[in-house]
């Protein structure tokens, strides 16, 4: 009996440690996103306005990255907050998810410096999509692996992942298909403007499905 209680405490402790590790990685990654966005040294008062305008595209990329990263953090936090315990498989998938998160500062800054290079935008887009898909897989494992979640919450959490997380990742991946038909990256970035509309539409569908089921 004592060994069973000890094992239960260890599982709860591992959940707390994994949650603390995730929060720390998100905090560092989201801070690093903005560190490379700065004005060049030695500017005069007459050239500072132009320098600010030159940073505008990179700042817009930062806003998009920060927003998606925030949604990834919220999705993972929402999932782990409802879990009773974690196991080795969940921990491994969580580390895979965090691996994609740690790449965001690198991929965003690479794309920010070379926005017209297809390889740079492909790396950045795949990184964002990888974060979203890894979170969907993590949610799938937590829902369908017996004993990690309360059964009453499993369906609700899985539907949330399908309606909120998956469509954005699929749209990001689909936008890369445009590179097969053009050497410019602008059409890909224009396609990203659909993300808010797709997110809003899937939310409406999800709410409608929830009302019908209840």
What's the pLDDT tens digit per position in 109-124? 999 999 999 999 999 9
- Contact between residue 180 and residue 122 where contact means Cβ atoms under 8 Å apart: no
- Contact between residue 169 and residue 136 where contact means Cβ atoms under 8 Å apart: yes
Q: Under 8 Å CB-to-CB from 65, ≥6 apart: which residues?
A: 33, 104, 108, 128
Task: Report the pLDDT value the prediction gives residue 133, as an integer from 0 to 100.
Answer: 95
Query: In angstroms, rounded to a whole number, what is the distance separating the alpha carbons of residues 47 and 49?
Result: 6
Give me the domain span that covers residue 62: 2-213
Residues in the chain where the model's pLDDT stays below 70: 1-13, 151-154, 206-207, 209-214
Task: Report the pLDDT value the prediction gives residue 1, as an integer from 0 to 100.
Answer: 46
- Give me the chain's average pLDDT, please: 85
Task: Report the pLDDT value the prediction gives residue 144, as an integer from 0 to 100.
Answer: 84
Distance of CA 32 to the CA centre of its chain: 15
Q: How far is CA 27 from CA 9, 72, 119, 144, 185, in A?
A: 27, 12, 27, 29, 30
Query: In angstroms, rounded to a whole number, what is the distance separating the alpha carbons of residues 175 and 185?
Result: 10
The number of domains in the chain is 1
Task: Report the pLDDT value the prediction gives residue 182, as an integer from 0 to 100.
Answer: 85
| Listed residue (133, 151, 156) closest to 207, CA to CA | 156
The Cβ of residue 14 has, within 10 Å, a number of other Cβ atoms equal to: 16
Task: Report the pLDDT value the prediction gives residue 105, as an integer from 0 to 100.
Answer: 96
């Amino acid at each position: 009996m004592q060994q069973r209680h000890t094992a239960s405490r260890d599982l709860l402790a591992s959940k707390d440690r994994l949650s603390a590790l995730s929060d720390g990685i998100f905090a560092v990654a989201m801070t690093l996103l903005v560190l490379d966005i700065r004005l060049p040294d030695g500017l005069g008062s007459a050239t500072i306005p132009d320098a600010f305008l030159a940073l505008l595209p990179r700042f817009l990329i930062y806003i998009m990255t920060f927003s998606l990263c925030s949604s990834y953090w919220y999705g993972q936090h929402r999932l782990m907050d409802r879990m009773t315990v974690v196991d080795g498989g969940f921990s491994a998938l969580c580390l895979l998810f965090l691996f994609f998160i740690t790449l965001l500062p690198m991929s965003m800054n690479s794309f920010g410096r070379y926005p017209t290079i297809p390889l740079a935008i492909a790396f950045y887009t795949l990184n964002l999509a990888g974060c979203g898909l890894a979170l969907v897989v993590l949610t799938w494992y937590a829902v369908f692996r017996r004993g990690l979640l309360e059964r009453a919450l499993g369906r609700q959490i899985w539907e949330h992942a399908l309606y909120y997380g998956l469509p954005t990742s699929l749209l990001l991946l689909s936008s890369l298909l445009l590179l097969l038909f053009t050497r410019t990256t602008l059409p890909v970035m224009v396609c990203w403007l659909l993300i808010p509309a797709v997110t809003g539409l899937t939310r409406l569908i999800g709410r409608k499905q929830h009302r019908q089921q209840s």
